[in-house]
Amino acid sequence: MSSLKLEGSEDAADSSPSGFGVAPMMSEPPVVRLRRELELVIDVARAVNSSLDLDELFPNLMLRTTQLMRVERATLWLKDETRGVLTSKWSHGVGSVAREILLTEGVLGWVARQGHLANLSDPANDPRFDARVDEQPGRPTRSMICAPVRDKAGRVIGIVECVNKKTRSFDAEDELLMSCICVQCAVALENGALYASLCDKNQALSVAETNLRVVNAELEVLYAVEQHIASADDVSGLIASVLERVVQLSQAEAAAVLLARESGGQVFSRLRSQGLPSREIDPREVQRRLTAARFPVRRTSPGSSEARVTQPLESELLVQVPELKGASSFTAPLTDGRTQIGLLQVIHAGSRPEGQDEAMLAQLALVASQLGRGIVLHRDRDAGERAQRLAILGSSVGGILHDMRTPLTAVGGYIELMATEDSPSVRKEYAARVERALEHMESMTQEVLAFAKGQREVLIRKVYLDKFIAEVRDMLVSELSRFGVKLEIVPTYDGLARFDENKLKRVLWNLARNAGEAMGQGGTFRWTITHTDDQLIFECADTGPGIPKAMEGRLFESFATHGKASGTGLGLAMAKKIVDAHCGRISVSSAPGQGATFRIEIPS
């Protein structure tokens, strides 16, 4: 703020006999005095518009206030309603020190409570004056003026205090100047709060983006492992392909799998750029390593401030990495669902960003869990129940990745818009939309992770349909606008119902997306909500070409698709699974050239 200093700055003030850098008011003609005060008021306004950093702005504002009001000290006090105190946040002048007083004390407390300006020409004889709080030790108060700073709602959020007028008592003109200063302080505080809020939102978005990348990495690993499990011909091929994928996605130096056998154990390993031959280890070594890796664990080199073991890290590694310094290993057990059958280990070189270690362990545990099931599947191809659960997991991962494409696109679009948008209110709306999209993706992520853990239940709870309809409307408008499709909602019932709202949002989203893709550009998608004595009914109708004959009878089958270059055939299959989990029913009626209507009935 040095560029904002005018004649009469702190350096100039100190050079004058009075310490204020201005001539006594009695020597100034009224016109000169008015011009000087007007210039300082304009300078205060210019300073308010020059910076959003309050710690940079307000010291300069208090300096200008001492010059404008011709006082020894000017202070801005901030009101803390929760703690019941006033804090001298920024001050300039003689005797300026950080202080804190109660809202019930002195003139300042009176102004904070009453919301009125206080002008004391004889403080010692004013009943509101309390020398213990209103007077600095060793600095007698000859005169003082205090004025409230109000927010847009009229609430007192602070107080500007000026102490000891240089040449006379404060008059009506000084009161008017104080009012001007308080208005500028209020504007500065509001701008600073908005700026801080936007910074917090941007930080939250940055954190959300980082978390989303972590989640996407987890899903990518899960999906890749599932693909390898489905395509591998044997256990060795499965482990080799998974290790290659884990090294690639986690950017590790190496990865290895120890697989326990009746006669000992077999180690499969891979460096960053090449696979290594498998090797055998004896039963005692296998047992020692399995015992040490019953739970996901991270180990570092001895001597590091984070080291968790005293023995050399190299003795714990399943694969030796050349010229490895400052290494960390992440190890997770492989199980068949009941017993430990091996372990999975990933090796990283150097330090990692704060907070990534726990995410790495969690991701490794998921991969190890999935890999363990894959190994058991290949060992026992007659285990039909296990194979069926694995297929459900595979389709779930595919479905969640399929459904995430649209909200990811929306998040990216809104973040780009926020980067070029100047209006705080518009940026706030964009941030709210991004937050809703992220919440939707989080629910989908939790669903696929629940499938990974073998959990398939729905969360039935009370839902206010008016709020649910509004949230779905925002979601569908964004989705259907890509196809130029008009959305119509007919809420003949908007009371209470009971269902898993996040999962039914996915159903409606899938139906809307399929309708948009079927209609191409233009058309109408109508969602009707009705209610009988014990059934909640959703009807989703479009004006598209109808259901192709090739799809009749197999519309809700997994991987059944027709006429879509990028279709996975999972959207309607996932929708039916969700409706079935609600003990409900989904059906479709269609005629060529007359669109299709999906009817969902669930107990309410």
At 475, which CATH number? 3.30.565.10
- pLDDT digits 0-9 by tens, 545-578: 888 876 766 677 755 555 554 444 567 877 888 8
290 closest CA partner among 343, 237, 211, 220 = 343
CB distance 108 to 88 below 8 Å: no
pTM equals 0.35
Quote the CA–CA distance of 224 and 280 in Å, as a whole number.
27
Angle between helices 54-69 and 172-231 (to 10 degrees): 180
Q: Given its phi and psi angles, is residue 486 left (phi above 0), alpha (psi -120 to 50 degrees) or beta?
A: beta
Residues 241, 358 within the same domain? yes
Does any domain span residue 137?
A: yes
- Residues 117-163: pLDDT tens digits? 999 988 888 999 988 888 877 778 888 999 999 988 889 989 999 99
> Could you tell me the two tokens for 515?
């309708």
Is the per-residue pLDDT at 202 higher than 60? yes
Q: Would the pLDDT of 12 be above 60?
A: no
Residue 508: per-residue pLDDT = 92
Q: Please give the tally of structural domains in the chain.
A: 3
Helices (H), 421-464: 424-452
Torsional sign, CA 514, 515, 521, 527: negative
- Secondary structure E strands in 377-504: 461-464, 486-491, 496-499
370-412 residue pLDDT tens: 888 888 877 765 445 444 544 555 555 555 565 666 667 667 6
Residue 412 domain-assigned (yes or no): no
- The amino acid that residue 437 corresponds to is A
Same domain, 146 and 282: no
Q: 188 lies in a domain?
A: no
Q: Which of 351, 381, 411 is the last residue of a domain?
A: 381
Bridging pattern class, strands 254-261 and 340-348: antiparallel
The DSSP annotation for 328-372 comes to: EEEEEEEESSSSEEEEEEEEE-S---TTHHHHHHHHHHHHHHHHH
Higher-confidence residue of 150 and 306: namely 150
In one-letter notation, the amino acid at residue 527 is W
Q: What is the mean pLDDT of the chain?
A: 77
Q: Choose the final residue of a domain: 364, 381, 398.
A: 381
Residue 221 phi, psi dihedral angles, 5° rounding:
-65, -45
Widest CA span of the chain, in angstroms?
A: 106
Residues 362, 489, single domain; the answer is: no
Phi, psi of 352 (to 5 degrees): -115, 155
- Average pLDDT over every residue of 442-465: 68
Q: Check pLDDT > 50 for residue 449.
A: yes
Residue 469 pLDDT class (50, 70, 90 cuts): very high
Q: Kindly state the DSSP code that residue 265 receives in the 8-state scheme.
A: E
Cα Rg, the chain, nearest whole Å: 35
* CATH number of the domain that residue 141 is part of: 3.30.450.40
Q: Are residues 35 and 151 in the same domain?
A: yes
Assigned domain for 451 exists: no
Residue given tokens 């010229």 in the structure block: 323
Residue ranges of alpha helices (H) inside 49-126 are 54-69, 106-114
Do 373 and 258 belong together in one domain? Answer: yes
Task: Please choose, from the candidates 152, 148, 150, 104, the residue with its C-alpha nearest in 3D space to the C-alpha of residue 128.
Answer: 104
34 and 111 in a single domain? The answer is: yes
Q: 384 to each of 215, 337, 391, 472, how far by Cα in Å? A: 30, 15, 11, 39
Would you say residue 351 has pLDDT above 60?
A: yes
Cα-Cα end-to-end distance for the chain: 63
162 and 239 fall within a common domain? no
At residue 397, the pLDDT reads 59
- Rounded CA separation 335/317 (Å): 20
Give pLDDT tens digits for 534-553. 899 999 999 988 888 767 66
Q: Check whether residue 472 and residue 554 sit in a common domain.
A: yes
Q: Which range marks the domain in which residue 72 is found?
A: 2-170
Using a 10 angstrom Cβ sphere, with 0-12 exposed, 13-18 middle and 19 or more buried, the burial of residue 384 is: exposed
Contact 117, 176 (CB under 8 A): no
d(CA 515, CA 302): 60
Q: Does position 507 have pLDDT exceeding 80, yes or no?
A: yes
Q: How far apart are CA 586 and CA 577, in angstroms?
A: 10
Reference 576, options 552, 558, 549, 596; nearest CA is 558
| 480: amino acid identity, one letter | L
Task: Residue 405: name the closest of 522, 511, 509, 500 by CA.
Answer: 509
Residues 264 and 154 in one domain: no
- pLDDT tens, residue by residue, 213-234: 766 766 776 777 777 777 777 7
Return the DSSP state at 136.
Answer: B
544 inside domain: yes
**Mean pLDDT value across residues 516-536:** 89
Q: Is residue 180 in some structural domain? A: no
Query: Considering the domain boundaries, does residue 528 fall inside one?
Result: yes
501-519 and 465-480 helices, crossing angle to 10°: 30
Residues 165, 246 within the same domain: no
In contact, 235 and 259? CB cutoff 8 Å: yes
- What's residue 492's pLDDT? 92
Q: Is residue 489 part of a domain?
A: yes
Residue 490 has pLDDT above 90, yes or no: yes
Burial state string for 72-100 with b = 16 or more CB within 10 A and e = fewer than 16? bbbbbbbbeeeeebbbbbbbbbeebeeee
Residue 251 and residue 166 share a domain: no
Indicate if the alpha-carbon torsion angle 180, 185, 186, 191 is positive or negative.
positive
Neighbours of 551 (CB within 10 A): 18
Instruction: Provide long-range contacts, Cβ within 8 A and 24+ apart, for 126-131.
Output: 130/105, 130/106
Last residue of a domain, one of 337, 364, 381: 381
Neighbours of 298 (CB within 10 A): 18
Q: Is 146 helix (H, G, I), strand (E, B) or coil?
A: strand
* Residue 240 sits in the same domain as residue 159: no
Can you give the pLDDT at residue 7?
32
